[in-house]
Structure 1
């Protein structure tokens, strides 16, 4: 059949798919229209501010990154950030944008100074996209440049210019000020959380010693760079003083702690590369090889790295990231005329770390004992884990408890955004898994169903835990037996009932992760799914009620409420017609209702781990054998719920 013949069906009629595809289907969008149509290409997910990687924080980063680039080039030692729940102002004291190019820089794609490596040698952003994305995705965007006694301000709404002062005199210091309000029609019910902005601010100061950032008037600065960062991040005491090494375009800190797994923080040109990249891979390899060669013993890399906590920051000319959100470095070279990233990092670690260990013999001795203990523990469970793995493989082949998805975080190929969307819901029993299973996204959402309450692993030796079949199956599903780097899902979501048993199961799972895989929590992989506690309705029309919703009294709506405050608001809106149902288990929520609860706007509480949390003491109190102390605590803090209005 010829191509022309294939355009017709058996009846001789032209195929509708061909006939409907005309030149009218080809459209050219304005720069801001494209950003607004496909925001995920530029800032990742939208979100509402409840997660640290939500789009409103990416907008803030795009603005601050420009100010950081000025500092890195030796211009301006202070940045002011002022926030409310809905908008941000960022003011730096750098050189200021050339006034005649202010509109081009803020509203013309692929326009910026960073294509000229002489002006910005080691910037984060090089494509002239970030500030335009902030402009296009904001209902109010104002940019002001002050330069040598002159200033200019341009304001926009959703990328469309509204006003321009032109170039006028000023007494303000040189620099740039950007104020923006994210578009609430895109970032629905969003609120800036100060805790996330504080952490972002701290990271900037750790990576730029000498920089002062005033966040809402409070000063943040760092004298010791990555040493300050690791001291804040460590939740267990280091076994030896943190090794702090620095050189041209590189800074690293390394220690081991009383914990399992590996914990890394990596940065490129001040950008937190949460997914690592070529620099982190080179760093892990170089540290392991250098330590092995120093001791002259045939240690396994896994024994050298178990319990390690480290950070690396490098500066690369014209960095290449694997997405616009810049979470993973793809660059192979330090610059057009520089060495490879692998060689640069490896040569630095080989010399500096080896020299450090030769000078600091006490640290070297502690490190040796830690590696030997890791080796002893690994060998103690080697035969057992092999038997467990063989048993797990046999069970897993016909394991109906895991319903997998198609895309995984550790896939070597494929769309990076889909990999980051990969998630697994850990549910209690088949009934809870039923609703999720029927309406999940099979591309990126997997389900693992527990058989009941898992083992309380607190205080148990590793060999005993490895014997447990339930956790063996879970480890196999997550693919973390060998290394956290093999994790198959970006989000591990605990989805349990909103009752006492559900809370207990949640605590048992968290105890397991905290003890044996704390790096999963520190890297932000573990979450708890929020599901509605109440359904308030007067008819069958459904509508989800967000915590910030303000509207007129609806007609015939169903509200899903996540707390008592939302329940009372819904009752007030519906009046006497309100019918209230209390959900006590996930199995009580129908698949159609559940669809919105695990969709793009699902509510997740990210499990965090901070130094001040005193995890060992918390686990001992809540999961240990001090039953009488817990009983007294429960009695003293008991809250009696009024169910009189709930049917």
Structure 2
């Protein structure tokens, strides 16, 4: 029967109801903190954006951030919100100073929605504005004003202090991972030289902007000194490394546009044109851009982003009266890079030799590459290894961020996952056994090895991450020595040939329970010995304890509990001092069997929680 559609069907939601009912419109996915783009980090970013905008306007050189027991505190030393508007700014849509382009010409926070989303999605939200010897404090819970203090005298310096606790009703079992917070704060200081951000007492500061960013993030040594170019409203840093693929960091008005946009497309095009023009040779695009490591930052008046989370720039123009984004970047890069290469012939020669090497390798594998592509096309018509999902990360579907693929080994494990997965957002790729150790091999092996070629095709990453079909690439293996070894071999494959998958935060390890503790009334799944001990005490006398030795031992009915909303994922994180060649040599080089056994037995993904 068709539901009745009448005037009673039309509802107008209160601002906070709308945010809480449709949080994805404001912060992307909710998540539990295991992914760098989970909602709790977007909440932190939304508060910080406003503080950084104050610095960009020339007021307040430091920001203090602390996270303790899931409670986030951000204190800036900007101008402070006008005291009579504190409640309005944090709880009324279409209220804010950033509609006035003269006050905030090139700001990150554009429409005042972000801070209201933080308010609505927190079970505790406290804001204090200090201005000219006075303070106004207001307290909210899930967007509802619960305490509104009168303006009082204060000896505090001007600025704003916000304290919030993400609502556990929405963000279940979440935790903040310090590496993700560190990365967020570092990007702010790289883009705002002279700004100090203190996180739980640790200072983040940059003198050299994007030059510092590349030095901090490069996992391989550059083939030549980083080229650093600065102009009005634009900054570029670049070099070539020794890794496969392309690696870019792009920013607009200090915002990390992780999905790129018009500015990154223009930069990649400008880079090719500048190199071709300088050497007066029509090099293949892939030979120029292979192994490139680059960062670009531009400032745009009234930028247009493709979502509230501001991860992709949609603007075509620099400003109402300025040139197009493409022309602005094209003119700057082609002229300034050409000048640099003329003045630095050693760097120019290094770039030329790198392009020639890439060209030789590309031609050497072109034949087998074509055969492998044809084989992959035929396999994709009836690919028994891949059980695909309906929604993909490279689509425009509202659930695209949930698109995941489980890489598992063996029929029993892949069978359990396949039967219990969400066919909309979860795919399964089944390995037939231990994959090949790719350490020290060239990319030719990706095309020669049918399994790796099919995995590459399933992920759609041959030409970079733009077409990546799954946001979460999840290694799902048993927790025994064989499973750990497979885990190592797969991590090696990605680090060797597709490090961007790791560096961009797409690679995870699936946690599955080691024990099931239950009685007739209660069942608890435990992921460690400590959890098992607590569960035994909780359940009471004579509990039934089951030790899961492999994924295949977990029934599909139970497995759905571990890959649904309560899924536990450990991100594979590369830290500052992690060098890809050194990591691969340590884990997969010619070690003695005893050392290999030690590494496999002790492999874990390091992460610090705050």
**TM-score bucket (shorter structure):** over 0.9
1:154 to 113, 117, 138: 138
CA 1:422 to 1:588, structure 2 compared with 1: closer, same or farther past 3 Å? same
RMSD after superposition: 1.9
- Structure 2 residue aligned with 1:512: 493
Q: CA deviation at 1:350?
A: 0.8
Q: Once the 2 structures are TM-superposed, how far is the Cα of residue 516 of structure 1 from its aligned partner?
A: 0.9
Q: Does 1:52 align with 2:36?
A: yes
List alignment gaps of at least 5 residues for structure 2. Answer: 604-610
Deviation at 1:440, TM superposition (A): 2.0
1:610 aligns with 2:579: no
Contact 1:405 1:444 in 2 (8 A): yes
Distance 1:246 1:535, change over 3 A: same
Superposition deviation, residue 110 in structure 1: 1.4
Range 401-410 or range 262-271, more displaced:
401-410
Aligned to 1:93: 77
- Out of 509-518 and 190-199, give the one that drifted further: 190-199
1:454 aligns with 2:438: no
Match of 1:188 among 153, 164, 172: 172
2:534 maps to what in 1?
569
**1:31 pairs with 2:15:** yes
Return closer, same or farther for 1:431/1:122 CA change in 2, 3 Å cut-off: same
Give 2:393's match in structure 1, choosing from 409, 415, 429: 409
Q: Does 1:595 align with 2:560?
A: yes
Residue 393 (structure 1) shift? 2.3
The alignment partner of 2:405 has SS state of: strand
Name the structure 2 match of 1:552.
none
Q: Which range moves more in the overlay, 79-88 or 259-268?
A: 79-88
Match of 1:82 among 62, 66, 70: 66
Where do residues 72-471 of structure 1 align in structure 2 (5 Å cutoff)?
72-411=56-395, 414-415=396-397, 417-471=398-452
Name the SS of the counterpart of 1:186 in structure 2.
Answer: coil
Q: In structure 2, do the counterparts of structure 1 residues 440 and 211 end up closer, same or farther at CA, with 3 Å as the change threshold?
A: same
Q: Give the drift of 1:629.
A: 5.5
CA 1:392–1:21: 2 relative to 1, 3 Å: closer
Q: How far did 1:192 drift?
A: 2.7
Q: How does 1:433-582 map to 2 (within 5 A)?
A: 433-539=414-520, 556-582=521-547
Mapped contact 2:485–2:600 kept (Cα < 8 A): no
Cα offset, 1:418, TM superposition: 2.2
Quote the Cα distance in structure 2 between the aligned partners of 1:194 and 1:162: 31
Moved more, 313-322 or 611-620: 611-620
In the alignment, the residues of structure 2 paired with residue 499 and residue 474 of structure 1 have an alpha-carbon distance, to the nearest angstrom, of 24
Instruction: Tell me how far apart the structure 2 counterparts of residues 637 and 268 of structure 1 sit (CA, whole Å).
Output: 41
- Asked whether the 8 Å contact 1:498–1:583 carries over to 2, the reply is no
Q: Distance in 1 between matches of 2:10 and 2:596?
A: 68
Question: Structure 1 CA distance, aligned partners of 2:70 and 2:573?
Answer: 24
Aligned partner of residue 612 in structure 1, secondary structure: coil
Question: Match for residue 62 of structure 1?
Answer: 46
| Structure 1 residue matching 2:294: 3-state secondary structure | strand
Distance 1:454 1:339, change over 3 A: same
- Separation in structure 2 between the aligned mates of residue 483 and residue 170 of structure 1, nearest angstrom: 54
CA deviations on 1:547-580 (whole Å, 9 max, x unpaired) are: xxxxxxxxx1111111111111111111223111
- Secondary structure at the counterpart of residue 102 of structure 2: coil
Paired residue secondary structure (1:205): helix
State how 1:625-644 maps to structure 2 within 5 Å: 625-628=590-593, 630=595, 633=598
The change in CA–CA distance for 1:309 and 1:578 in structure 2 (over 3 A counts) is same
Tell me: CA distance 1:370–1:59, structure 2 relative to 1, closer, same or farther (3 Å): same
Supply the distance in 2 between the matched residues of 1:93 and 1:102 (Cα, whole angstroms). Answer: 16
Deviation at 1:51, TM superposition (A): 2.7
Three-state SS of the structure 2 residue aligned to 1:497 is coil
Call closer, same or farther: CA 1:459–1:634 in 2, change over 3 Å.
closer
Aligned mates of 2:11, 2:446 — CA distance in 1: 59
1:465 and 1:43 map into 2 onto residues whose CA distance is 37
User: TM-score of the superposition, structure 1-length normalised?
Assistant: 0.90
Secondary structure of the corresponding residue to residue 598 of structure 1: coil
Task: Using the TM superposition, give the Cα deviation of residue 626 of structure 1 relative to its aligned residue in structure 2, in angstroms.
Answer: 2.5
What secondary structure is seen at the aligned counterpart in 2 of 1:576? coil
For structure 1, the residue ranges without an aligned partner over 5 or more in a row are 1-15, 540-555, 639-647
Contact 1:85 1:192 in 2 (8 A): no
* Separation (CA, whole Å) in 1 of partners of 2:286 and 2:517: 53
Deviations 1:44-84 (A, max 9, x none): 22223233222221111111100111111111111111221
Whole-Å Cα distance in 1 between the matches of residues 237 and 130 of structure 2?
A: 38
Report the structure number with the largest CA radius of gyration. 1
Structure 1 consecutive aligned stretches of length 4 or more whose deviation exceeds 6 Å = 634-638
Measured in 2, the distance between the counterparts of 1:184 and 1:484 equals 33
Deviation (angstroms), 1:207: 0.8
Q: May I ask how many residue pairs the two structures share in their alignment?
A: 603
